Amino acid sequence: MTRLSHMTKSVGMHEAKTHLSRLVDDVLGGEDVVITRRGEEVARLVAVASHKSRVFGADEGVWTVPDDFDDPLPPELQQYFE
């Protein structure tokens, strides 16, 4: 394994296949992993943005439904939906 910088490591294709689970742990720990084939960079393994669980009602009060929400559209707008 060749270190490119303190936060990036480079691994060959064979090593990436053999040690994918460990490399994913490294990525989750903050490192980028560059995968090479015959010495040429071909892919980068990086962590995805954190997906937090949705909480029902978390946006309550952010937006209020106007009283006329269900009213018919004015004729000048309705023509665009026919």
CATH code for position 14: 3.40.1620.10
For the chain, the domain total comes to: 1
Q: Would the pTM of this model clear 0.75, i.e. be above it?
A: no
Residue 56 lies in a domain: no
Residue 40 lies in a domain: yes
Q: What's the distance, CA 9 to chain centroid?
A: 21
Structural domain range at position 41? 2-45
Residue 39 lies in a domain: yes
Residue 15 lies in a domain: yes
The pLDDT of residue 57 is above 80: yes
Rounded to 5 degrees, φ, ψ at 78 are -60, -35
Q: What percent of the chain has pLDDT over 90?
A: 50
pLDDT tier for residue 21 given thresholds of 50, 70 and 90: very high
Spatial distance between the Cα atoms of 31 and 20, rounded to a whole number of angstroms: 14
Q: 51 versus 41: which is more confidently predicted?
A: 41
